[in-house]
Amino acid sequence: MIRHTHLYYSLKDVQIRKMCHYSNHKIVCCCLLMLTQWDAITEMDEQNRPIHTFQVCHVMEPNQNNWLRSGWIQRQAAQRVYVELRFTLRDCNSIPWVSGTCKETFNLFYLQTDDPLPAATRFRPIDYAKVDTIAADESFTQTDLGDRVLRLNTEVREVGPVTQKGFYLAFQDVGACIALVSVKVFYKRCPSTLRNLAAFPETVPHMDSSSLVEVRGACVENAEERDTPKLYCGADGDWLVPLGRCICSIGHEEMDGHCRACKAGFFKANAGNVKCSKCPLRSSSHDQAATICHCDKGFYRAIKDPPTMACTRPPSAPRNLVSLINDTALFLQWTPPANTGGRNDITYNILCQRCDGGDSGETQCEPCEPDLHFIPRPLGITGTSVAVLDFAMHANYTFHVEAVNGVSELGVAARSLANITVNTHQAGVLGPAFLGIVKKDWATYNSIALSWSEVQQPHSDIVDYEVKYYEKEQEQLSYSSTRTKFPSVVVTGLRPSTVYVFHVRGRTPAGYTAYSPNFEFTTAAEDPDVADQGQVLVVVTASVGGFSLLVILTLFLLITGRCQGYIKARMKSEEKRTRFHSGHVPFSGIKTYVDPDTYEDPTQAVEEFAKEIDPSCICIDRVIGAGEFGEVCSGRLRIPGRKDIAVAIKTLKGGYMDQQRRTFLREASIIGQFSNSNIIRLEGVVTRSRPVMIVVEYMENGGLDTFLRTRDGQFTVLQLVGMLHGIAVGMTYLSDMGYVHRDLAARNILVDENLVCKVSDFGMSRVLEDDSEAAYTATGGKIPIRWTAPEAIAYGKFSSASDAWSYGIVMWEVMSYGERPYWEMSNQDVILSIEEGYRLPAPIGCPVILHQLMLHCWQKEYSQRPHFNDVLSFLDKLIINPSSMLALVNDAISFPDSPEDMPDYPLFISIGDWLDSIKMSQYKSNFLAAGYTTLDSISTMSIDDVKRIGVCLIGHQRRIISSIQSLRLQLHHIQQSGFQV
């Protein structure tokens, strides 16, 4: 108290100088400093620029208590406040005669208030809360008395939490030699930013450093939303997990994070982040932000033409129109127009006029008779010829052939016509007219009998008759014909209740007569009995036809060589079937694992095994870790109609390569195949929008290794065995499925709120890139050495037996509360020690029976390691009968009980050898000095004994005691079997 009182008097409330500094991207407050026995001193730096400092250096006098206080600093929007101090601090050793009084630290304090304190308020150190003691780092103040070279220290401390409107900072010197050069007060914030064409405002992170602030972005001008754009502001002022995006509207393109209008001469017809396109040929845009380019005069765009297509125009007229007449038909032929108008959808129409000399001698034209027939058709002809049938004798026909394309209707230009006039009499090939009447004599459901009167020619002139017929409804799409020597015919093979059109003509030695007019007759209605037969017939024909079609198709494919693809496709589906039947659910009824790498397209595996989740159902709360591919977040999955689920979300950060995306999603296609209470459950994936995500159930207690490390000694053995039991359940399931994990370790086990342990981290089972423990082996593979069985390290033999080895290591990790296996030994030493027969000793407090199980898992010969179901039933028994965990030896499963069968564990000859083997050589003299000279003598040592002989570090005490316990076990074995050490 007295010292504080003294301070009141000694505090010089003098305002000295503004010490303002702005950090590069985070707002900084300025503060004014006031001082007592600190002095404001201006020094010169190397460039002779003044440096304003506050200094204190009362190193000769004891009991120093000198305070320097800032002015009131407004908190502004800050939730977490940081102070950066730059100072020099003089090394006490460099000042003679100051030992005892000279200090090398000072203290930082703060006081928060809603308003500045009244000017007359006395400074009371007791009101201030301590932030930290500040010491210099390596760049310790070196005062070279000759040159006065000063080394600056920079220290940053978080102050608070500050919840009131402002605060003061205070510096307490207790006898050091300090020069305070700058005080920078700042808070972190995520700066306003543009991401994915959305603007995000400056955002202050949450007070709670692990929580994220979700911020919705607003699309920049001329952009529109595609999935709500969101970012998350992290505690360090970094933006994380970009979700959703905006895209540039029509007429605008992305440039430097904005949507800029397309320049004149360019256009963009669709929203999206593609560039504006140059106007296509024969079009232009005169204004900015064009969504389409307008066609030049005389050029057009058809309705179905894409905006990117050049404008076109109607074609010119067909060329070289000629006619040919044979005994039955007139053929018109032409060549395509010289100018197609720039399109390739040209067709032709035939327009026909019949022109006869009228009574007045004038030529009169009228449209051709409707029963004139054109083959293939009169309009929309895609070829360059047409056959005309059934025209009258002695007539003049004028044919116009019109070329049209997709924009002909839009063009106002003259029609693209070519004409030709044909006189059918001059052609002289058409025979006499057919003047007879065609009658229907009878009809059944599928036949019609016709007859007609003779033509005018004497009968002997008629060689035969041709009867042409077609279904009226089909409009001559196809017609049939039949011949008869007599003026009657029965036409068969017709459809019931159908109208047919018939016409008949005669053939004479001079050629054909003209066709009779059209006659329409209808078949009878269907006879049900006969119809059934017909249907049966149809069915039989169809199936036989189907088969032959298949044969023909196969032959065709073989001949044309396309068969390869076909067979491959067949094989693929066959393969899939096989994979599914013999792979997924074999006869045993146990599902087996399907390696996603066996899929030609790995995305197919993802589709098969993982549900696609709509990203709008995912709410991200916070970042809980960082994976190789991107942040790992926690959040909730909100599927409508389902209870919300807490989930962990692994994200794939932007800018990934296709291969990375595949590797990332590989994990989902593996986890998606599993369904077991001790395997992490996959909720689904987001693959159709960015970022790509894998969503799994959330495990409240995170990784087992860290979980145990932070709760050292807090669980009962039974609880620990419960965890191991859960892991064994998961591993039994995996090995039954035929899945080899390859990276089983406590860090890859997740723990939920009820201490249920679940096996996780499947993505890297092939490539262990993501595991920081994985090291390269001589063969180039990356392997977590300490957890991996020797045969897997040596020659890559991974199996459920190598997983069993790793399980033994996990047991050891669990029983030692997250201790690192083999401590600080190098990977190389671990490999050599294992090779020499060395095994991890039982952790402190670990029942021997569990250590025996570990040793069993670590058998060199992998076939002798327990299967996971053995491990499981063994642990089941332990849990049912916990007293078994008090027993020392020999009641463990098939543990060798003769020395010949004993695994080759080392028997240390001397204390020195033993300490060397556990890397504790530095304590050799402690043991010897305390009289421990034989292995027998140490076997009874307790932890207190170890402490007493001078082993102070807890880690070393543990290592020594663990090893002693293991040694005790070995001695016990040997003694039991009659051996003497």
Please give the distance of CA 310 from its chain centroid, rounded to a whole number. 39
For ligand ADE, the binding residue among 233, 648, 768, 849 (CB under 6 A) is 648
User: What is the total residue count of the chain?
Assistant: 981
- Largest Cα span, the chain: 154
Please give the distance of CA 741 from its chain centroid, rounded to a whole number. 22
Q: How far is the CB of 913 from ligand ADE (least distance, A)?
A: 43
Going by C-beta distance under 8 Å and a sequence separation of 6 or more, which residues neighbour residue 417? Answer: 317, 351, 400, 401, 402
Closest to ligand ADE by CB, 305 or 667: 667
Dihedral, CA of residue 948, residue 954, residue 958 and residue 959, to nearest 10: -100
Closest to ligand ADE by CB, 87 or 629: 629
CB 290 within 8 A of CB 266: yes
Measured CA to CA in angstroms, residue 144 lies from 52, 93, 421, 793 at distances of 20, 12, 117, 56
Residues in the annotated binding site: 624-632, 650
Give the number of other Cβ atoms within 10 Å of residue 203's Cβ.
Answer: 20
Closest to ligand ADE by CB, 582 or 677: 677
Closest to ligand ADE by CB, 648 or 844: 648
In whole angstroms, give the CA distance from residue 299 to residue 311: 5
Question: Angle 17-19-20 (CA atoms, 0-180°, nearest 5)?
Answer: 135
Closest to ligand ADE by CB, 702 or 781: 702
Q: How far is the CB of 680 from ligand ADE (least distance, A)?
A: 6
Choose among 786, 772, 776: nearest CA to 827: 786
CB 470 within 8 A of CB 499: no
Closest to ligand ADE by CB, 73 or 704: 704
Total chain residues near ligand ADE (CB under 6 A): 10
In whole angstroms, give the CA distance from residue 847 to residue 903: 19
Closest to ligand ADE by CB, 694 or 811: 694
In whole angstroms, give the CA distance from residue 233 to residue 206: 8
What residue type is assigned to position 591 of the chain?
K
Q: Is 630 an interacting residue with respect to ligand ADE (CB under 6 A)?
A: no
* 743 given a catalytic annotation: yes
Helices (H), 675-771: 704-709, 717-737
- Which residue of this chain has its Cβ atom nearest to ligand ADE in the complex? 648
* Residues 386-405 close enough to bind ligand ADE by CB under 6 A: none
Q: In this structure, what token pair is assigned to residue 346?
A: 């040209």
Measured CA to CA in angstroms, residue 787 lies from 18, 772, 805, 859, 955 at distances of 58, 13, 7, 14, 20
Closest to ligand ADE by CB, 702 or 843: 702
Site track 660-699 with ligand ADE (rule: CB under 6 A), x = hit: --------------------x---------------x-xx
Q: Is 652 an interacting residue with respect to ligand ADE (CB under 6 A)?
A: no
Going by C-beta distance under 8 Å and a sequence separation of 6 or more, which residues neighbour residue 43? Answer: 50, 51, 53, 150, 179
Q: How far is the CB of 723 from ligand ADE (least distance, A)?
A: 16
| Given the residues 173, 705, 743, 803, the one annotated as active site | 743
Q: Is 704 an interacting residue with respect to ligand ADE (CB under 6 A)?
A: no
Q: How far is the CB of 706 from ligand ADE (least distance, A)?
A: 10
Choose among 259, 128, 271: nearest CA to 199: 259
In whole angstroms, give the CA distance from residue 79 to residue 77: 7
Choose among 458, 457, 506, 468: nearest CA to 485: 506
What residue type is assigned to position 816 of the chain?
S
Q: How far is the CB of 240 from ligand ADE (least distance, A)?
A: 15
Give the interface segment with ligand ADE, choosing from 125-133, 460-468, 624-632, 769-777 (CB under 6 A): 624-632
For ligand ADE, the binding residue among 632, 645, 767, 971 (CB under 6 A) is 632
Q: How far is the CB of 746 from ligand ADE (least distance, A)?
A: 13
In whole angstroms, give the CA distance from residue 967 to residue 959: 12
Q: How far is the CB of 150 from ligand ADE (least distance, A)?
A: 47
Q: Is 702 an interacting residue with respect to ligand ADE (CB under 6 A)?
A: yes
Measured CA to CA in angstroms, residue 291 lies from 268, 278, 287 at distances of 5, 11, 10
Helix (H) or strand (E) holding 224: strand 223-233
Q: What number of helices (H) and strands (E) belong to the chain?
A: 18, 50
Residues in the annotated binding site for ATP: 624-632, 650
Going by C-beta distance under 8 Å and a sequence separation of 6 or more, which residues neighbour residue 261? Answer: 222, 251, 252, 288, 289
In whole angstroms, give the CA distance from residue 61 to residue 417: 117
How many CA atoms within 13 Å lie on the side-chain side of 301? 20
Q: How far is the CB of 617 from ligand ADE (least distance, A)?
A: 17
* Residues 833-852 close enough to bind ligand ADE by CB under 6 A: none
Closest to ligand ADE by CB, 86 or 747: 747
Please give the distance of CA 259 from its chain centroid, rounded to a whole number. 27
Q: How far is the CB of 727 from ligand ADE (least distance, A)?
A: 15
Q: Is 625 an interacting residue with respect to ligand ADE (CB under 6 A)?
A: yes
String of DSSP letters for 369-413? PTT-EEES-SSSB-SSEEEEE-PPTT-EEEEEEEEE-TTTTT--S
Closest to ligand ADE by CB, 455 or 696: 696
Q: How far is the CB of 629 from ligand ADE (least distance, A)?
A: 12
Going by C-beta distance under 8 Å and a sequence separation of 6 or more, which residues neighbour residue 118? Answer: none
DSSP class of residue 488? E
Q: How far is the CB of 236 from ligand ADE (least distance, A)?
A: 19
* Residues 744-763 close enough to bind ligand ADE by CB under 6 A: 750
Q: How far is the CB of 760 from ligand ADE (least distance, A)?
A: 6
Closest to ligand ADE by CB, 434 or 707: 707
Q: In this structure, what token pair is assigned to residue 766?
A: 């092939």
Choose among 864, 862, 860: nearest CA to 895: 864
Closest to ligand ADE by CB, 92 or 624: 624
Q: Is 624 an interacting residue with respect to ligand ADE (CB under 6 A)?
A: yes
In whole angstroms, give the CA distance from residue 757 to residue 727: 6
**Residues near ligand ADE (CB under 6 A):** 624-625, 632, 648, 680, 696, 698-699, 702, 750
Catalytically annotated residues: 743
